[in-house]
Chain A
């Protein structure tokens, strides 16, 4: 009989389809796991709503749970429970090592343009804070583009939501 711990461990092996350095558990998208006899119910709280990776995540979770010999039920929770503050400290460190500046903590009232333009973002390559916003938007809904004057490189910053 599968245990809750086994399910969490299995889900922690599933990579984010677009940023494979981070697992779904580190990304904070799994809100709850409930095991009842041979059934496993996962509450999945999506990140950005237009993100095409969400369906891939859902299907991979279902496959992985089926491999454990249980019957999966993945409930997509369309409420406001995910924010970038749910990314774990380990997840943030993995993002940084892979060249993505992790999201800044969310402040009351949400993000403002002035914060993106003047707030400190540290370059994930050289650690300099001499960086500037190039584009609020990036190659996926979760990223902004910035440029580091310290090492003369563009980099991607995970958007705070």
Chain B
């Protein structure tokens, strides 16, 4: 596992955390308001821990890069509010793909990477349960099926080629051509503006 790959995972977790947090206060039921907020908090926590493995200052990695320097997948950048079916389809595909790649990290020869991955797995187990529960509920809903078809190519692109069959097996979906990481979604610059706005408004080195 090289640093660029770790950074890709960290950026995915951070950006998905932001997107999921957009449901805070406006989810279709109050229970989901709590759930999405808590999941978002976990994902940002995982990003912070991964950034800490890569660099001394996780905030600088999270907030001081230019938008083109982020390695996040377009999958996590897409803005879905107020579309709940697509939000859940993304959560479901992302969590299953993430379980596979974090499982790989947990087998790493690098002890620090393997240890952190194992810790992340403990929390991600709950995200997977949440996603599976919703996928079961929405299974026959045409909007959900259409969202799975739309997003599966991106989810495959989160994984190494050798790991893609495992995602198809976990979700029962048919193989399609993957969309590889590397091209940001059109909504990314605006999200970057929002997420770094406060940080950029302060002079460098300010203490919070």
Judge: A and B partners, yes or no: yes
Summarize A's interface: helix, strand, loop or mixed: loop
Residue of B nearest to A80 (CB): B118
Residue picked from A78, A137, A161, most chain B C-beta under 10 Å: A137
Q: A48-B42, A49-B48, A136-B130 are in contact. Are A80 and B115 (CB under 8 A)?
A: yes
**Is B132 within 8 A of A50, CB to CB?**
no
Q: Does A4 contact B (CB under 8 A)?
A: no
3 tightest Cβ-Cβ pairs between the two chains A and B: A50-B45, A79-B115, A49-B45
Contact residue among A51, A82, A136 (Cβ-Cβ distance under 8 Å from B45):
A51
- CB of B62 closer than 8 Å to a CB of A: no
Return 9 A-B CB contacts under 8 Å, by A number: A48-B123, A49-B120, A78-B112, A79-B116, A80-B122, A81-B115, A83-B122, A113-B129, A161-B123
How many residues of chain B get a CB closer than 8 Å to chain A's CBs? 32
* B115 proximity list for chain A (CB < 8 A): 78-81
Is the pair B46, A137 in contact by a Cβ cutoff of 8 Å?
no
B31, A141: Cβ atoms closer than 8 Å: no
* Residue among A49, A113, A134, A140 with the highest chain B CB neighbour number at 10 A: A49
Q: Name the contact of A136 in the complex, choosing from B44, B112, B121, B126 (C-beta under 8 A).
A: B126
| Residues in B41-55 with C-beta less than 8 Å from chain A | 41-46, 48-49, 52-53
